[in-house]
Amino acid sequence: MSLLETVDGPAQLRGMTITELTELAGEIREFLIEHVSRTGGHLGPNLGVVELTIALHTVFESPRDRLLWDTGHQSYVHKLLTGRQSGFDRLRQAGGLSGYPSRAESEHDLVENSHASTALSYADGLARADAYRGHTDRAVVAVIGDGAMTGGMAWEALNNLADGPDRPLVIVLNDNQRSYAPTRGGVADHFSALRAGHDGPGVFEQLGLAYTGPVDGHDIGALQEALRRARALGRPVVVHVVTEKGRGFVHTENNELDRGHTVKPMDPRTGKALAPSTKGRSFTSVFGERIVEIAAERPDVVAITAAMLEPTGLLPMRQRFPDRVIDVGIAEQHAVTMAAGLAMGGVHPVVAVYSTFVNRALDQVLMDVALHRCAVTFVLDRSGITGNDGPSHNGMWDMSVLQVVPGLRIAAPRDGARLAELLDEAVAWSEGPTLVRFPKGPTGEDLPAEMTFAGMDVLRRSGSLDVLVVSVGALARVALGVAEGIRAQGIGVTVIDPRWVSPVNPGLADVARRHRLVVTIEDNSRIGGIGATISQTLRDAGVSTPLREFGVPRRFLGHGSRDDVLSECGLTVQDISLAVVGAVADLDGGNGYSTLDGIDGALARLLLRHRSGKEER
């Protein structure tokens, strides 16, 4: 039996020798490479913190001592040491382990928000709470990477950590010189100087914090000694640990782009993906290609990324126009207000960010960009349901949150061709901010319009004017599937893609007035989403046509594939078709479904089951 197989909790580590712990570290790396190669996940960050995590669990006593992982994608080793080895067979899959800390999984997980630069604020609050309540026998430990230290919230916390009562709070600075890509800027330069052992106090000491390091993050004995000294101080202290992201696996060590930050299922011998990640081009790659073409045509266009150069598709532009791509680090708020300043100076900035991260900069979008009518284009990747990364990474709030911003025009392309067209239109708009949002994954084949009406694309028109389906973005294929399903029941249907979904096109009210029922389909929250806004627009225009909105329910969604999560939300062709057929039957005056001509018995039974089991969605 291996050492790892004998560990079902951190207490067992404290009786092991350094030799045994070093052997355990090797077994953990082998386990991670074997299992994450099968499921995919954050391999590089976890290979880099093996010895650090072991040392933390031998010096501190979780869960009495609280361990917080900033961002959290480096918590796989922590999960292995806290009794969750069996769950790695379904890592990041429905019913399996989350790829981030999860309070539902273990008492050893306290913070599961996987957004960066937050752990120091949590830690400050927890340590102050202990001090107020007289608990002096336990510590709070926050592990934060040097990449996350480029985020402004981390420095807001540091500014306050030296203030207030003495309290046992240990900040482990996991310095691997990277976030997704190499860390850039003044913070990175200062940490480099600290690693080199320059004379004089560093920034942490100047802020009033104790500091120790740098410590070799792959030497368990040295780590234990530094952590024990830090704990004994009984006040906020920074332990500067130097680690190597992707350590111990040739294919991550040699990958200078991201050090295996996130890998897809692969052959561990070759590092090659087991299957193509997508069928055809992704939305991200279409954006990346088109923004380069736009930049070649428009010398005033620059791009901004918040430490996500390659994931947001900006790597080709950096390669072609290196001086016109700005990486601000994990600092979305600064990125947005800097973009406002660029626009005021006569430049057209394109801010490329994951949908989930733009939530962090709502005030800046609202007050710094929109209030000044700055011509800034926002490109939101990973909008809608992302799936495997879990609740904090779904981009299901962007349209609800950002529709409140006056003057912001929002586009939702359904395919690759529309993404290129709408990006062109967005960058050409000079009267205020624009936004283009799209999901993770492949674009699929283009879906041409049958005709265009008032700037909206009519994707399908058949039969009488019974149901108007308003398709939002990449759920167009679902909308077209619904159209086929209800048409087969003798119900006339029109499918429209507005392209620009907010503000609502006034022509939509004219179309809705001619139909008996309006249906909206979106992969955004139903609360404050496009469907809700269309409903309000129709009421304002005096249109009495009833409307049904289909979207994401108001709850945090678990991890799983995109298709799994969409199905859980009822956003499938079958679910929506059944509900629409039932709604039409109700319009015909029946209490059940028998009044709808042409409906067969099997469909009637499905409808009744849908009414009883899924209507509350």
Q: SS3 for 268?
A: coil
Would you say residue 594 has pLDDT above 60? Answer: no
Could you tell me the strand order of the sheet in which 467-471 lies? 451-453, 456-462, 493-497, 467-471, 517-525, 547-552
176 is in an annotated binding site: yes
- What pLDDT, on a 0 to 100 scale, did the predictor assign at position 593? 39
The structural domains of the chain, with segments of one domain joined by +, span 4-253, 283-437, 451-613
Strands (E), 382-446: 409-411, 434-437
116 is in an annotated binding site: yes
What percent of the chain clears pLDDT 90, i.e. is strictly above it? 64
In sequence order, the 6+-apart residues with CB closer than 8 A to the CB of 512 are 468, 518, 534, 538, 543, 545, 547
Tell me the CA distances in angstroms from 338 to 147, 306, 507, one per residue in order: 19, 12, 36
CATH topology of domain 283-437: Rossmann fold (3.40.50)
In sequence order, the 6+-apart residues with CB closer than 8 A to the CB of 271 are 250, 251, 255
Q: Is 245 an active-site residue? A: yes
- What pLDDT, on a 0 to 100 scale, did the predictor assign at position 605? 43
CA nearest 353: which of 284, 423, 425? 284
Condensed to tens digits (0 to 9), the pLDDT of residues 417-434 reads: 999 999 999 999 999 999
455 is in an annotated binding site: no
DSSP 504: P
End-to-end distance of the chain based on CA atoms, in angstroms?
48
The span from the CA of 43 to the CA of 260, in Å, is 6
Would you say residue 590 has pLDDT above 60? Answer: no
Phi, psi dihedral angles at 544 (to 5 degrees):
-95, 0
List the catalytic residue out of 51, 332, 522, 549: 332
In sequence order, the 6+-apart residues with CB closer than 8 A to the CB of 408 are 365, 370, 402, 432, 433, 434, 435, 502
Condensed to tens digits (0 to 9), the pLDDT of residues 350-391 reads: 999 999 899 999 999 999 999 999 999 999 999 988 877 767
Phi, psi dihedral angles at 333 (to 5 degrees):
-65, -50
- Count other C-beta atoms under 10 Å from residue 543's C-beta: 21
Query: 205-219, 267-281, 453-467, 528-542: which range is least confident on average?
Result: 267-281
Q: Where are the alpha helices (DSSP H) in 207-282?
A: 220-233, 250-253
- What pLDDT, on a 0 to 100 scale, did the predictor assign at position 336? 96
The span from the CA of 370 to the CA of 533, in Å, is 19
- What pLDDT, on a 0 to 100 scale, did the predictor assign at position 564? 81
- Label residues 451-468 b or e (16+ Cβ within 10 Å = b): eebeebbebbeeeeebbb
Q: Is 84 an active-site residue? A: no
Query: 182-186, 301-305, 325-329, 392-396: which range is least confident on average?
Result: 392-396
Condensed to tens digits (0 to 9), the pLDDT of residues 471-525 reads: 999 999 999 999 999 999 999 999 999 999 999 999 999 999 999 999 999 999 9
Condensed to tens digits (0 to 9), the pLDDT of residues 35-81 reads: 888 888 888 899 999 999 999 999 999 999 999 999 888 999 999 99
Phi, psi dihedral angles at 583 (to 5 degrees):
-65, -40
List the catalytic residue out of 29, 66, 128, 245: 245
- CATH code for the domain defined by 451-613: 3.40.50.920
Strands (E), 382-465: 409-411, 434-437, 451-453, 456-462
- Matching CATH number, 4-253, of 3.40.50.970, 3.30.70.580, 3.20.20.370, 3.30.70.1520: 3.40.50.970
Give the global pTM.
0.86
289 is in an annotated binding site: no
Q: Three-state secondary structure along 56-89?
A: HHHHCCCCCCEEEECCCCCCHHHHHHCCCHHHHH
Condensed to tens digits (0 to 9), the pLDDT of residues 552-566 reads: 888 777 777 888 888
Contact of 379 with 353, CB cutoff 8 Å: yes
- Label residues 406-415 b or e (16+ Cβ within 10 Å = b): eebbbbbbbb
73 is in an annotated binding site: yes
Q: What's the rounded mean pLDDT across residues 109-136? A: 89
- What pLDDT, on a 0 to 100 scale, did the predictor assign at position 278? 54
List the catalytic residue out of 290, 360, 499, 526: 360
Predicted confidence band at 277 (pLDDT cuts at 50, 70, 90)? low
Contact of 453 with 422, CB cutoff 8 Å: no
Q: What's the rounded mean pLDDT across residues 25-31? A: 94
- What pLDDT, on a 0 to 100 scale, did the predictor assign at position 41? 81
Condensed to tens digits (0 to 9), the pLDDT of residues 200-254 reads: 788 999 999 999 989 999 999 999 999 999 999 999 999 999 999 888 788 887 8
Q: Is 360 an active-site residue? A: yes
